[in-house]
Amino acid sequence: MTENSAELRDAAPLVALRGVNKHYGALHVLQDIDLEIAQGEVVVLIGPSGSGKSTLCRTINRLETIDSGSIEVDGKPLPAEGRELARLRAQVGMVFQSFNLFSHKTVLENVVLAQVKVGKVAKAEAEKTARELLERVGVGAQADKYPSQLSGGQQQRVAIARALAMNPKVMLFDEPTSALDPEMVNEVLEVMRSLATRGMTMVVVTHEMGFARSAANRVLFMADGKIVEENTPDAFFTAPRTDRAKDFLSKILQH
Amino acid sequence: MGLIFEGDNFSAFAEGFLRTIELSALSALFALLLGFVLAAFRVSPVPVLRWFATAWVTIFRNTPLTLLFFAVTFVLPQLDVHFESFTVAVIALSAYTGSFVCEVLRAGINTVPLGQAEAARSLGMGFGQTLGLVVLPQAARSVISPMGSVFIALPRNSAIAGAFNVPELFSVQKHLTEQSYGIFEIFIWIALAYLAISFTINALFSTLERRLAVAR
């Protein structure tokens, strides 16, 4: 998968960030970020906590605003808050660290709600899509339960199905396995891996180096608000170029 | 204690009782509508709306209700706006109670984790859909009990209207006192009537709370 990433990048990018800057008060969390993501590409963002990788991920559907620079999705610049932005967000799937399933709705309703209310899909059709997607992520049997009755791994898979139901052009994953018990991490990564194989464009913020190695086309290493290093997973993990990356890898890969 | 059944006392009493219910019900309805609008303003992304709702709540929640009645009774006619005393009472009570409803709703909205609204927005829902489909339904359960307190206070607050020419329950007391009945007996009857209203509202909210608890 990694060998074709160069040719993927030749086409017009699906997501493009140019000169993006963001501050939290005195803290410069994103510093001159330039990033292009091609259709079908899987980009993994790694780096120490506080490096800005989650913030970067959240700017792509404008859950975080930026101070300067530009962000384009599918050739169109991100609009300001309003109807236009809502329409764009429907095309950008987002999966959160804390799942954020709607706790007052059943699993099925969680996947149906936005299809009907945002996508104006008929209810019967939305339910059919929802059941198929729930089946695909392996939680079809839980459709009528409430989120609180599910394990973390199951909830996260429902959250992925909920995002997929909108037929997104790109999926953003903001540390999708960080809140999970270790034995549930793999079931979620499996779903993500199969999405990657099906050609979904994905931006993944994660600490799962195994996933980065096996599923990513490109690894971005972030530190102090900057993209410090950018490479194929093989090259990055076997021969990191910068001291920051070497230091980071030595800390997380020693056991 | 039988004073209520003498002469036309009962009909005066019943009339006042119904007036209080009418006044409270109408004010409750408008206060609820107003409270929802104000709460939506308070959490809206538009600064002007937030500012307006904050100003409203600050003014009406921190002013004595009697003063508000005075203001509506005497200021509006100067602007050449004339209402009968019942309408004036509904306006004052709704404006006042609406500010409390707003704050109860806002507190409820704040109990819903931010991630819920983020998930809704990232699925393409607008501000109204996020609030109406995701946030408010989850805020409902934590809101019911304090909302009950607001609406139990409303009929009791409406007694002030009696001093502003609305022939409601509390003003029946004047009518009876003029007939030289004992003040103690009169007050007991009136207190019992208010108690009946409060208990009914309380029962209503308890039922709601139980329903919502079951339906999660």
Question: A186-224 burial, b for 16+ CB within 10 Å, e for fewer?
Answer: bbbbebbeebbeeebbbbbbbebbebbbebbbbbbbbbe
pLDDT value at B215 more than 70: no
What does the pLDDT read at residue A2?
A: 46
Q: How many CA atoms lie within 13 A of B134 on its CB side?
A: 29
Q: Does any CB of chain B come closer than 8 Å to the CB of residue A94?
A: yes
For residue range B8-31, what is the model confidence (pLDDT) as tens digits?
A: 888 888 999 999 999 999 999 999
CATH numeric code, A3-253: 3.40.50.300
pLDDT of residue A195: 95
Instruction: For residue B200, give how far its alpha carbon lies from the nearest alpha carbon of chain A (Å).
Output: 29
Q: For residue A10, how many C-alpha atoms fall within 13 Å in the half-sphere facing its CB?
A: 3
Average confidence score pLDDT of chain B: 91
Nearest Cα of chain A lies from the Cα of B76 at a distance, in angstroms, of 38
Give the mean pLDDT of B120-126: 96
Domains: count for chain B? 1
Greater confidence (B176 vs A159) lies with A159
Nearest to B138 among A86, A88, A104 (CB): A104
CA-based nearest distance A247→chain B, Å: 33
Q: Which band of pLDDT confidence, cut at 50, 70 and 90, is reported for residue B147? A: very high
- pTM, rounded to two decimals: 0.86
A254 and A237 in contact (C-beta within 8 Å)?
A: no
- Residue-level pLDDT at A1: 45
Three-class SS of residue A229?
A: strand
Return the number of CB contacts < 8 Å for A and B: 69
Whether B134 has its CB under 8 Å from any CB of chain A: the answer is yes
Residues in A 126-185 with any Cβ partner in B closer than 8 A: 146, 159, 162-163, 166
User: Do residues A222 and A46 make contact, with C-beta atoms less than 8 angstroms apart?
Assistant: yes
Q: In chain B, what residues touch A90 (CB-CB under 8 Å)?
A: 123-124
pLDDT tens digits in sequence order for chain A, 255 residues long: 444 555 555 678 999 999 999 999 999 999 999 999 999 999 999 999 889 999 999 999 999 999 999 999 999 999 988 889 999 999 999 999 999 999 999 999 999 999 999 999 999 999 999 999 999 999 999 999 999 999 999 999 999 999 999 999 999 999 999 999 999 999 999 999 999 999 999 999 999 999 999 999 999 999 999 999 999 999 999 999 999 999 999 888 765
Q: Which among A78, A81, A99, A100 is the top mutation candidate for probing chain B, defined by the most B β-carbons within 10 Å of its own β-carbon?
A: A100
| Burial grade of B156 (CB within 10 A; 0-12, 13-18, 19 or more) | middle
Q: What is the ipTM of this complex?
A: 0.91
- The pLDDT, as a whole number, for residue A3 is 47
Contact A118 B125 (CB under 8 A): yes
Q: How close, in Å, is residue A117 to chain B by CA atoms? A: 8
Q: What is the CATH number of the domain that holds B203?
A: 1.10.3720.10
Which of B45, B124, B133 has the CB atom closest to A86's CB atom? B124
Residue B113 touches chain A, beta carbons under 8 Å: yes
Mean pLDDT score, B113-127: 96
- Cα separation, A125 vs A139, whole angstroms: 19
Above 50 in pLDDT, residue B60?
A: yes
B120 contacts A102? CB cut-off 8 A = yes
Report pLDDT digits (tens) over B35-48: 999 999 999 989 99
Which residues constitute the domain of residue B167?
Answer: 3-214
pLDDT at A4: 54
Give the separation between CA B17 and CA B158, rounded to whole angstroms: 11
On whether any CB of chain B is under 8 Å from the CB of A102, the answer is yes
Strand ranges of the sheet holding A68-73, from the earlier edge strand across to the other edge: A27-37, A15-24, A68-73, A76-77
CA distance A190 to chain B (A): 22
Residue found by looking up tokens 């429902």 in the block: A158
